[in-house]
C-alpha cells in the first residue's frame, strides 16, 4: 500500500494574518478521534476564532470548529472541544517563555495533511493596532492597482 507523500492544505486562517504580525511559525501534531479525521478529509473545519494556550506544560487549541462527520452517529465528538497539540517539551517551554512576554499569543495559522498525518501550523503572533491594519489594506490596494495598470499596459 503506497502512502501519498506531500502536503495538502485543509484550512487556512486568513483572519490571523489580518489581525496579527506573525513573528515565527511552528509545526505541531494534533490529537484527534477517527470521525474528526474523516470530517477533516471532507474539509469541514473553521480556524477563524481559534487560539492556543499552554497549561501545565501541555499545548491545547481552543475554538477550532470541526463539524461532526455525517455518517459518524454516536462516535461524533463535540465540534468545539479542546484538542491537545503535540510538540516536544523543549519547544513548548520556548513557546511558553515567548507567550509570557507582553503582547504575544499563539494562533493556529493552517491545518494540513503531511504524509497522511494531520498537522497544525502555529504562529507566534503580536497583535496589530488599527492603524497597522489600515496601512496593510492601503498597501494591498496600491499593489493591486499597480498589477491592474501593468496588465492593461500589456494589452495596448
The answer to whether residue 140 sits within a structural domain is no
Q: What are the pLDDT digits (tens) for 83-114?
A: 889 999 999 898 888 888 877 888 999 898 88
Q: Give me the mean pLDDT over the 47-76 stretch.
A: 83
The answer to whether residue 150 sits within a structural domain is no
The answer to whether residue 35 sits within a structural domain is yes
**Secondary structure E strands in 18-136:** 20-30, 45-46, 51-55, 58-62, 65-66, 83-86, 104-114, 117-127
The answer to whether residue 120 sits within a structural domain is yes
C-alpha to C-alpha distance for 16 and 13, rounded to whole angstroms: 6
CATH of residue 45's domain is 2.40.280.10
Helices (H) and strands (E) in the chain, counts: 4, 9
CA nearest to 123, candidates 106, 103, 146, 100: 106
Give the per-residue pLDDT at 1. Answer: 42
Residue 47 in grid coordinates: 480556524
The answer to whether residue 106 sits within a structural domain is yes
Q: What pTM value is reported for the model?
A: 0.74
Domains of the chain: total? 1
The answer to whether residue 32 sits within a structural domain is yes
Which helix (H) or strand (E) segment holds residue 48: the answer is none
The answer to whether residue 139 sits within a structural domain is no
> Where in the sequence is the domain holding 66, given as residue range(s)?
7-129
The answer to whether residue 138 sits within a structural domain is no
Amino acid at each position: 500500500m503506497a502512502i501519498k507523500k506531500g502536503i495538502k492544505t485543509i484550512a487556512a486562517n486568513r483572519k490571523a494574518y489580518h489581525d496579527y504580525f506573525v513573528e515565527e511559525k511552528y509545526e505541531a501534531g494534533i490529537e484527534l478521534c477517527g470521525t474528526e479525521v474523516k470530517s477533516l478529509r471532507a474539509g469541514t473545519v473553521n480556524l477563524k476564532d481559534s487560539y492556543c494556550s499552554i497549561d501545565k506544560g501541555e499545548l491545547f487549541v481552543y475554538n477550532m470548529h470541526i463539524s461532526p462527520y455525517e455518517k459518524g452517529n454516536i462516535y461524533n465528538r463535540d465540534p468545539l472541544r479542546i484538542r491537545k497539540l503535540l510538540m516536544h517539551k523543549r519547544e513548548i517551554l520556548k513557546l511558553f517563555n515567548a507567550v509570557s512576554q507582553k503582547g504575544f499569543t499563539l494562533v493556529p495559522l493552517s491545518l494540513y495533511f503531511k504524509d497522511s498525518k494531520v498537522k497544525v501550523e502555529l504562529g507566534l503572533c503580536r497583535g496589530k493596532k488599527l492603524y497597522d491594519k489600515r496601512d496593510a489594506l492601503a498597501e494591498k490596494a496600491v499593489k493591486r492597482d499597480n498589477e491592474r495598470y501593468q496588465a492593461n499596459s500589456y494589452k495596448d
